Amino acid sequence: MKVHTLLDHAGHIPAFVVVTEGQRRDLAVARGLHGPVGSMVAMDRGYIDYQFLFHLHQEGLYFVTRQKVNAQVNVMARFAVNRSTGVTADHEVVLSGPKG
C-alpha cells in the first residue's frame, strides 16, 4: 500500500491524497495531478519524463528536479544562489537531446 500526497503550503492539510496498491508507480499518480497555475512541484529524478514535464509547463506549473547526469541541456540563464543553503545551482535550461 502507498499513500501519494500533495501538500499545499498555503494550508496545513494535504490538498490531494491517493491510496494505491504498493506496485503503482508514483509517476502514474503524478500524471493525474492538477495544481493551480503558478504552483511549484518538487520531484526527484525518478519523475524525469519529458512529456510529463512539458505537460506541467503547459499547465502553468513550475518544477524543480535533479536532472539525470546524461541529460543534454542548453543553459539559457544562470541565477545567483546561496550555497550555504545546500542549493548548488539555479539555471533556466532548454532540453536539447533527442528526447528533449
Residue 1 falls inside a structural domain: no
What three-state secondary structure class fits 18? strand
Look at residue 23 in the predicted model and tell me its pLDDT: 82
CA-CA distance, 7 to 43, in Å (whole number)?
Answer: 13
Cβ proximity of 60 and 38 under 8 Å: yes
> Is 23 contained in some domain?
no
Q: Give 24-41 pLDDT, tens digit per residue.
A: 887 888 888 777 788 777
98 versus 100: the higher-pLDDT residue is 98
- Which H or E run includes 85? none
Does 53 fall in a domain?
no
Query: Which is higher by pLDDT, 61 or 100?
Result: 61
Domain assignment present for residue 58? The answer is: no
Provide mean pLDDT across the span 38-53.
79
Q: What is the pLDDT of residue 100?
A: 65
Q: Is residue 78 part of a domain?
A: yes
As a whole number of angstroms, the distance between CA 1 and CA 77 comes to 42
Taking the model in full, what pTM does it have? 0.65
At residue 17 the predicted structure's pLDDT band, cuts being 50, 70 and 90, is confident
Q: Is the pLDDT of residue 70 over 80?
A: yes
Residue 77: domain span: 70-100
Please check whether residue 11 lies inside any domain of the structure. no
User: What type of residue is 74?
Assistant: N
Number of domains in the chain: 1
Q: What percent of the chain has pLDDT over 90?
A: 12
Mean pLDDT of the chain, nearest integer: 82
